């Protein structure tokens, strides 16, 4: 995760090593493409005529992208495969269900998702409350079973993995709560804490989940988080850890247990909660070498805070640790067709990526027309809505806005330094592994905006409509 921006002799540009001699920075010409989604037209990830070359422009008009200054490597984009999403999809005709998965996961005809988050035990977006071992006192986990996942969750994970191309889909798993018998309050809901005498059993539960998913389902787990939203006492599945408690569990139990089981390659992330408490959890765990050696990075959500710079502050303190966005949604139920849904996604993605976040996972990939199902009525919106009565599917603005990143910014891409441009616009730029430059520009205002896109020697004349998002792809000739 260290930025290469300040290497004095050699800079990475489009995958090729170049000397830092100024004459050598003359770029190869690029072949440009433009993709647009706009509120006031029918353009939805629509290819348009590419922008034309332009003369010089004032600095205030130019978004300058510098491929010679690469920063974090991107791991991918995705959404959550919850029991509720699986149920909502299962109510559709088979062809419609296949269409949704194709449009999410196919790398060429869909939006190219390569990450998926699922839940260990139930979460609020489950049909009921359940765990994978409900036998009280079973610290040896003799009754551990994936049976509660077999009707809805596991078939969806397999379908998504097939649509994405097998191992191309990386699975992250998060617990909302240990089984009730491991909790101080004796139930999975309403917060409570992990009992001291169950800490080792809960660490072993992670191992059992990872190993059983691989052995019985041929599903490799790429990463796990310690706890979903560890400082939120909810009426649904939840479990509380303060920063010091999370550090102790990682350092003394979960980290060593995963290591002893030969699972060091499974990435472990702390926090999995809002940006406003990122620094406290990072300081506690990443600041402790005995705990930090087990941890790949920290996971963040967007609720409460849009202090994107918190990620930069943590990156500055712990530059070898990853920062991954793992959940965001519009709460409060379904608001079909509202355009600000997509703009909130893009604003957060741009803000996160400009501050060292290396990947982005949405919440439920699909919900029904109520914004559920949710067993505690904690309804929310989703990029895709499935109508069980009509068998139809609605793709919302958020689906298309996410696609402006996920389809074109490939795993292994690097975010590059980009600056400037009209104050009305928000933007971020990347270079893909094949050397293609990708710039995403959003206009959330009520008027079209003219600007220039400067890409290391080429200057493009661009105009973006009101309430629109553009992706510019410059392939190396």
Catalytic site positions: 229, 327
- Would the CA dihedral through 403, 408, 412, 414 be positive or negative? negative
Paired with 453 in beta bridges are 63, 460
Q: Is the Cβ–Cβ distance between 69 and 416 less than 8 Å?
A: yes
Which residues have C-beta within 8 Å of that of residue 73, sequence separation ≥ 6?
1, 358, 412, 413, 414
Peptide bond into 463 cis (omega under 30): no
Distance (Å, whole) CA 456 – CA 420: 14
- Cα separation of 105 and 169, whole Å? 9
Query: Do residues 67 and 14 lie in contact, with contact meaning Cβ atoms separated by under 8 Å?
Result: yes
Which two tokens mark 186? 């004796």
Contact 146, 162 (CB under 8 A): no
Interior angle at CA 277, CA 197 and CA 259, nearest 5: 45
C-alpha 223/C-alpha 214 separation (Å) is: 13
**d(C-alpha 109, C-alpha 407), whole Å:** 9
Helix (H) or strand (E) holding 314: helix 309-317
Tokens of 299: 């996971």
Q: 272: which 2 tokens? A: 């999995």
- DSSP strand pairing (76-80 vs 359-364): parallel
């Amino acid at each position: 995760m260290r930025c290469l921006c300040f290497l004095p002799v050699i800079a990475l540009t489009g995958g090729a090593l170049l000397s830092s001699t100024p004459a050598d920075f003359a770029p190869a010409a690029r072949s440009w493409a433009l993709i647009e989604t706009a509120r006031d037209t029918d353009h939805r990830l629509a290819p348009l005529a590419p922008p034309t070359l332009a003369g010089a422009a004032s600095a205030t008009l130019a978004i300058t992208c510098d491929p010679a200054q690469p920063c974090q490597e991107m791991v991918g984009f995705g959404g959550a495969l919850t029991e509720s999403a699986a149920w909502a999809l299962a109510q559709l005709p088979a062809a419609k269900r296949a269409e949704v998965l194709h449009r999410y996961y196919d790398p060429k005809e869909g939006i190219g998702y390569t990450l998926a988050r699922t839940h260990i035990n139930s979460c609020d977006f489950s049909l009921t409350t359940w765990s994978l071992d409900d036998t009280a006192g079973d610290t040896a986990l003799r009754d551990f079973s994936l049976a509660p996942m077999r009707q809805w969750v596991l078939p969806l994970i397999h379908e998504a993995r097939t649509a994405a191309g097998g191992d191309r889909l990386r699975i992250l798993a998060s617990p909302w709560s240990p089984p009730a018998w491991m909790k101080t309050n004796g139930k999975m809901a309403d917060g409570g804490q992990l009992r001291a005498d169950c800490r080792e059993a809960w660490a072993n539960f992670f191992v059992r989940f990872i190993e059983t998913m691989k052995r019985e389902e041929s599903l490799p787990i790429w990463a796990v988080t310690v706890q979903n939203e560890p400082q939120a006492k909810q009426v649904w599945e939840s479990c509380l850890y303060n920063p010091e408690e999370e550090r102790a569990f990682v350092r003394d139990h979960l980290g060593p247990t995963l290591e002893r089981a030969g699972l060091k390659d499974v990435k472990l992330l702390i926090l999995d909660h809002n940006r406003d408490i990122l620094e406290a959890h990072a300081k506690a765990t990443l600041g402790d070498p005995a705990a930090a050696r087990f941890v790949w990075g920290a996971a963040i959500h967007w609720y409460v805070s849009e202090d994107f710079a918190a990620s930069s502050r943590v990156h500055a303190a712990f530059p070898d640790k990853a920062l991954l966005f793992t959940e965001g949604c519009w709460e409060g139920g379904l608001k079909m067709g509202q355009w600000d849904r997509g703009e909130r996604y893009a604003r957060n993605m741009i803000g996160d990526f400009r501050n060292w976040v290396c990947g982005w996972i949405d919440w439920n990939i699909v919900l029904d027309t109520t914004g559920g199902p949710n067993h505690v009525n904690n309804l929310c919106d989703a990029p895709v809505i499935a109508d069980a009565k009509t068998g139809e599917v609605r793709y919302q603005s958020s689906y298309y806005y996410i696609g402006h990143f996920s389809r074109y910014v490939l795993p292994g891409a690097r975010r590059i330094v980009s600056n400037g441009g009209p104050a009305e616009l928000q933007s971020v730029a990347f270079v893909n592994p094949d050397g293609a430059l990708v710039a995403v520009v959003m206009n959330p205002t009520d008027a079209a905006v003219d600007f220039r896109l400067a890409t290391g020697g080429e200057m493009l004349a661009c105009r973006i409509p009101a309430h629109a998002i553009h992706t510019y792809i410059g392939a190396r000739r």
